[in-house]
Structures are given as structure tokens and as C-alpha cells.
Amino acid sequence: MSFERVAIIGLGLLGGSIGLAVDEALPDVATTGFDADPAVRRRAAERGLAGTICETAQEAVADADLVILCVPVGAMGEVAREIAPALKPGSLVSDVGSTKASIAAALGKALPGHAVIPAHPVAGTEHSGPDAGFASLFHHRWCILTPPADADPAQVDALAAFWRALGSMVEIMDAQHHDLVLAVTSHIPHLIAYTIVGTASDLEDVTQGEVIKYSAGGFRDFTRIAASDPTMWRDVFLNNRDAVLEVLGRFSEDLTALQRAIRSGDGDTLFDRFTKTRAIRRSIIEQGQDDARPDFGRKDHDD
Amino acid sequence: MSFERVAIIGLGLLGGSIGLAVDEALPDVATTGFDADPAVRRRAAERGLAGTICETAQEAVADADLVILCVPVGAMGEVAREIAPALKPGSLVSDVGSTKASIAAALGKALPGHAVIPAHPVAGTEHSGPDAGFASLFHHRWCILTPPADADPAQVDALAAFWRALGSMVEIMDAQHHDLVLAVTSHIPHLIAYTIVGTASDLEDVTQGEVIKYSAGGFRDFTRIAASDPTMWRDVFLNNRDAVLEVLGRFSEDLTALQRAIRSGDGDTLFDRFTKTRAIRRSIIEQGQDDARPDFGRKDHDD
């Protein structure tokens, strides 16, 4: 079993990258695309983000074996209700949202009796919109599938094969566990980055110009992920509240402990903590999830 | 006035990069270098991090017009006391430490009556040691000088010209203000990165393997700066305590406000906060302090 016609609903960074990746890796698969924004549809047509850009979501999904929803987490239910009457019997609906339990619930409610297998490709950049996508976005990145208990194993295999064809490595996981793991590896880092960038811009005694000038000391790394799409991230936090608050509680405890060490001049605690963290970095590079060159090979080094 | 002989004490990332940059940009300037670690001295000689690698710090500084201390912040006073008897009359002592008020005090005490102008090149990578340095590290990066009130203006100008020759842009600032600005743009980002990487590795319900596999969701950016030299950073926090605790207090307040917005489902507050932060990113890129390519042009994109 494999997919011959794939519909992509939402043509931003993720949807656009899927379209381009299918075109490159699975040239025999036909793609249709739709975005609610007419300007995005025009740009998607210019860039060829899907074989056919449709004027309605229903038109885009009508002949598809696989429908992938690439809209913000909070819009998944509404889009699913919109396409429900037009879905081909036997087709599979999936998505790329960053939270999984709330999406599984929303899609299950909107599409009763229809096959749904949520998915989350753990890949992205700080850019968004129809110009942001590129075909290699998923190369050597993990895609997590969270099939419900009653999912058809053949459909799970077909969806896994689809993501592997696009360059991903595939993992199957429980939706609740996904939401906890991603709270740690993605949601809390984004929340912290948004917070510190906001804190820095609100200080009275340090100007915004100074923050920008001296950002190479570490701050600039946070601004990259704090430049991510606000709608997407608002929805992530509203839809993964429990896991985010749990991990945030741990983080705050750990930060308080380091704050106390600084206040009391406890250099040993600081040194121990700062030493432990190097090993994780090493493993991330060994497993190909980041670039070992200094500063990831930022261009300034060889200008 | 300019410097003909420069001594570099400490041959890690910063000291080594200064040596290589002088060799490239100021080939007529002679450099001597010293490091307390014999293995570092051997490697520094192999890489040519200074024209002459000396066996003692006193030997390295004996003929120098400019002595630059490139050791951890907490070691500055001790190194200054060691070289004091050997300094050439009229020579200038400077440094590259990440805090400035405590270093000004330590050097002033160790070198009474001798000319001292502290400096801080805001540049670095996550790597450390004698293999980490490269000649272009300072290109298009700011170097902050914090001359004491009685500094000789000709020496301030000469030091500024030295750093400009190495590719830096130079700013003059009060030491206390420097420490507050860098608490925001460098010290707190590092503390937060060390904390979240530590939090992630201590969770019971999420394995370290999972954290590493799915790090591309945002976490990996934090691991880069959390891989920085532990001794250096311990000393930074012990020597810039007041400014760090002040900014940390603000950060914690702001994080608590976002935590409350998540708990109460207040999407508008989240959206507003996440929108504000994009402008800073744009300015940092416009001013050449970061790379606009997605993910800084990490290599995975075109593999």
C-alpha cells in the first residue's frame, strides 16, 4: 500500500517543504495544495509547492489518498470539519502539528469513523510562510507518528514509508508521551527564548541598541527561535498546557538552585552543573542532529 | 603610538585567536605567548598561535608594549601578580575577560601604578582550548574597552586601533554598565542554556536518548552554548553576581507571567509576546551580528 495522490492543506514552511520534497523524492505522486490565504496560494503556485493549487480545501482533498493538515494546531479541528464531506472513502488524514494528544482528539471528533494517524516531523527553521519551505527540510530528521490504538497497521506502514521517502527517520510513540518529550526538546526552549528576548527588550538601563550590538555573546541564538511564527507557538502552548507546565516547574526549580549558588558564591555547584551539559551536546552532534563546526559554521568566520 | 610587541597570556580560544589575527593583520608586530599548561604550550607552538612560545609568563611579558591576559576571570589577579615584576615600564596591560568591574579591581590591586585598560571582545564559540582559535574570530564583532577615569587617552586610542586592526568594532563603556549589558546579552543566556540542558537530562519520564533524538525542535540551540568552558563560566557568574541576579529576577518575573497565561489559556498575551520578539531578530541580522539563512545555514539542509 502506498499513496498516489497527496493533498496538502496549509502551504507555509512545513506544507511547502512537503510539496517540494514529494516532487523531488516521489515524482510519480500527484500533489494538490490549498491555503486559506489567496496571496499564499498565488506564491505557492509560482514556487510549485504542489502540482495543483486548488481554490478550496474540499477540492484539494477530493481525490487524495493521503491528506496532510499543515495548519496551526488550533485550526486543525476547524479545517478537518471543512474537508470532512469531501474526503474520499478509505483515505488517510494526517497532520504535522507540534502537539499530538489535543490534535488526535480534535481530528477524532471532526472525522468520526475516518482513518486518522497524527504525525509530527521534528524539523523546522525560524522562517515561515510560502517562501520558507525547501525540499531537504526533513533529511535526517525524526518524524514521530502517534497512531491511535485501532489504526490500520498497513496505513501506519504506508505513512511511515512516505516520511522515509522524504528523508525522515520514523518513530512510533504514544501521543501523551510525545507531548511530554516535545515539551522538553522544543516547547520549553521556545518559551524560554521568547521570554529572555522579551526581558531584554524591556530593561530600562540597557538600550535595545546595546542588546543588538552585543548579541554575539550568546543572546542571538535565542533570538533565532524567538523569531518563529507567533500563531503556531501560541497554539502549541494552549494545546500542550499540562506537559509544558510540568517541565517548566522543573526548569524553575533548577534555575532557582543555580541562582542560590551564584548568590552564595558556590563555585563548585556551578562548575559541576556546567560540566554535565557538555556530554549531551557531544551526543547530539554524533547523532547528526546538529553541526559541529564553531557557531554551526556561521558565515562571519570566513568573511 | 602603536604596539610593536604583544604578549598573550593564556592560549585558549581567545588568546590563540588574537595570536593568529595579529599574524594575519599586523605581520610587523611580534607576539610572545604563554600558557600555564605545558600541553597547551606545545600545541600552541605547533599551530603558531604566537611568534615565540615562552616557558614562563614573566619571560613572555618582558619586552612587550602590550600584555593581554586571556585567562579565566577568576585567575586574572593571580596572573597579574605573577607578571608584575617583569613588566616593561610604560607597557599597557589589558585582558579579554567577560566581566569588567571585578577585573578592573583585581588588576588595579595587583599592578598599582601600572597602566591597565580592561577590554572585552564580544566574540567566541562553544569550543575552547588551543585548537579552537582562528584568525577571523573578531571580524565584525564589537570589542568593549572600559578604561579607568585616569587612563592615558593615547593608550586608549592605541588599544582601540589594535582591536580595529583585528577586525573588531570598538566601543568605550563604563565597567559597571558593561557588566549589566553583558549580563543580558551573554551571561543570562548562558545560565538559562546550562539550566535547561541540565533539566532535560534529569527528567525521569523522558530518556536522554529521546532528548538527543528530538533536539532539532529547538533544544539543540541551547546545547551549543551550554557546551562552553565550565571554568570560564563559573568565574563569570561569581564575578558579575549583582548584575546577573538583577537580570535573572526580571527574567523570572516575565517567565511567571507567561506561565500564568498558559495556565489560564490567555492566547492574546502569548501572541503579543511572541510577536514583539521578531523585530529584535531582524535588527540583529541587519547589523551583521547573525546569519539570516535558515538555521544559520546548518549543513543538513543541502546534504
pLDDT tens per residue, range A162-213: 999 999 999 999 999 999 999 999 999 999 999 999 999 889 899 989 999 9
Contacts (Cβ under 8 Å, ≥6 apart) of B45: B53
Among candidate residues B148, B173, B198, the one where a domain is terminated: B173
Whether pLDDT at A149 is above 70: yes
Nearest one of B105, B83, B280 to A222, comparing CA atoms: B280
ipTM: 0.89
Same domain, B137 and B188: no
Among candidate residues B155, B173, B191, the one where a domain is terminated: B173
Please state, for a pLDDT cut of 70, what percent of chain A lies above it. 97
In the three-class reduction of DSSP (H, G, I as helix; E, B as strand; rest coil), residue A151 is classed as coil
> Which own/partner pairs from A105-109 qualify as long-range (CB within 8 Å, at least 24 positions apart)?
A106/A76, A106/A77, A106/A80, A107/A69, A107/A76, A107/A77, A107/A80, A108/A148, A109/A77
**pLDDT tens sequence across B179-215:** 999 999 999 999 999 999 999 988 989 998 999 999 9
Give the pLDDT of residue A301. 43
**pLDDT tens sequence across A30-72:** 999 999 999 999 999 999 999 999 999 999 999 999 999 999 9
Distance from first CA to last CA of chain A, Å, rounded?
A: 51
Same domain, A185 and A113: no
**pLDDT tens sequence across B69-92:** 999 999 999 999 999 999 999 999
At residue A279 the predicted structure's pLDDT band, cuts being 50, 70 and 90, is: confident
Whether pLDDT at B7 is above 60: yes
Centre a 10 Å sphere on the Cβ of residue B152 and count the other Cβ atoms it contains. Answer: 14
Distance of alpha carbon B98 from alpha carbon B175, whole angstroms: 11
Among candidate residues A174, A189, A223, the one where a domain is terminated: A174
CB < 8 Å to A275, chain B: 230
Same domain, B148 and B63: yes
Distance of alpha carbon A257 from alpha carbon A94, whole angstroms: 42
Chain A CB within 8 Å of residue B269 CB = no
Distance of alpha carbon B30 from alpha carbon A162, whole angstroms: 61
User: Would the CB atoms of B216 and A171 count as touching at under 8 Å?
Assistant: no
Same domain, A139 and A238: no
Distance of alpha carbon B21 from alpha carbon A7, whole angstroms: 54
Contacts (Cβ under 8 Å, ≥6 apart) of A113: none
Whether pLDDT at A140 is above 60: yes
pLDDT average, residue stretch B59-71? 98
In a domain, residue A34? The reply is yes
Same domain, B199 and B161: no
CB < 8 Å to B189, chain A: 196, 217-219, 221-222
Chain B CB within 8 Å of residue A260 CB = no
Q: What are phi and psi of A167, to 5 degrees?
A: 105, -5
Same domain, A168 and A206: no
Distance of alpha carbon B211 from alpha carbon A185, whole angstroms: 6
Helix, strand, coil tally for chain B in percent (to 5) = 55, 10, 35
Same domain, A61 and A88: yes
Are the C-beta atoms of residues B215 and A284 closer than 8 Å to each other? yes
Are the C-beta atoms of residues B227 and B194 closer than 8 Å to each other? no
Same domain, B119 and B191: no
In a domain, residue A301? The reply is no
Here the CATH number for the domain that contains residue A260 is 1.10.3660.10
Distance of alpha carbon A216 from alpha carbon B195, whole angstroms: 20
Chain B CB within 8 Å of residue A182 CB = yes
Sign, CA dihedral B87-B238-B188-B293, equals positive
CB < 8 Å to A297, chain B: 296-299
Distance of alpha carbon B223 from alpha carbon A110, whole angstroms: 39
User: Would the CB atoms of B217 and A244 count as touching at under 8 Å?
Assistant: no
Distance of alpha carbon B256 from alpha carbon B242, whole angstroms: 21
**pLDDT tens sequence across B238-293:** 999 999 999 999 999 999 999 999 999 999 999 999 998 888 888 888 888 887 77
Shortest CA distance from B136: residue in chain A: A301
In the three-class reduction of DSSP (H, G, I as helix; E, B as strand; rest coil), residue A14 is classed as helix
In a domain, residue B181? The reply is yes
The more confident residue out of B281 and A294 is: B281
The more confident residue out of B301 and A259 is: A259
**Half-sphere exposure at residue B121, Cβ-oriented, CA atoms within 13 angstroms:** 31
At residue A302 the predicted structure's pLDDT band, cuts being 50, 70 and 90, is: very low
Q: What are phi and psi of A97, to 5 degrees?
A: -65, 155
Q: DSSP labels for B53-86?
A: E-SSHHHHHTT-SEEEE-S-GGGHHHHHHHHGGG
Please state, for a pLDDT cut of 90, what percent of chain A lies above it. 81
In a domain, residue A157? The reply is yes
Q: What are phi and psi of B83, to 5 degrees?
A: -85, -15
Are the C-beta atoms of residues B65 and B31 closer than 8 Å to each other? no
Chain A, residues 71-90, CB within 8 A of chain B, namely 74
Whether pLDDT at A303 is above 60: no
CB < 8 Å to B210, chain A: 181, 185
Give the pLDDT of residue A297. 60
Average pLDDT over chain B reads 94
Are the C-beta atoms of residues A122 and B220 closer than 8 Å to each other? no
Whether pLDDT at A295 is above 70: no
Give the pLDDT of residue A50. 98
Provide the domain count of chain B: 2
Number of A/B CB contacts below 8 angstroms equals 382
pLDDT average, residue stretch B97-109? 97
Counting Cβ atoms within 10 Å, is residue A90 exposed (0-12), middle (13-18) or buried (19+)?
Answer: exposed
Same domain, B160 and B254: no
In a domain, residue B50? The reply is yes
Chain A, residues 183-222, CB within 8 A of chain B, namely 184-203, 205-206, 208, 210-222
* Min distance A243 CA to chain B CA atoms (Å): 11
In a domain, residue B72? The reply is yes
Are the C-beta atoms of residues B276 and A226 closer than 8 Å to each other? no
User: Would the CB atoms of A182 and B214 count as touching at under 8 Å?
Assistant: yes
Distance of alpha carbon A156 from alpha carbon A154, whole angstroms: 5
Same domain, A154 and A242: no
In the three-class reduction of DSSP (H, G, I as helix; E, B as strand; rest coil), residue A32 is classed as strand
Same domain, A131 and A194: no
Same domain, A116 and A197: no
Distance of alpha carbon A219 from alpha carbon A206, whole angstroms: 14
Give the pLDDT of residue B78. 98
In a domain, residue B298? The reply is no
In a domain, residue A297? The reply is no
Q: Cell digits for B11? A: 592560549
Q: Which domain holds residue B78?
A: 5-173
Tell me the pairing of strands A119-121 and A142-145: antiparallel
CB < 8 Å to A122, chain B: 214, 216-217
Whether pLDDT at B300 is above 80: no
User: Would the CB atoms of A191 and B303 count as touching at under 8 Å?
Assistant: no
Indicate the residue of A181, A294, A296 with minimum beta-carbon distance to B214: A181
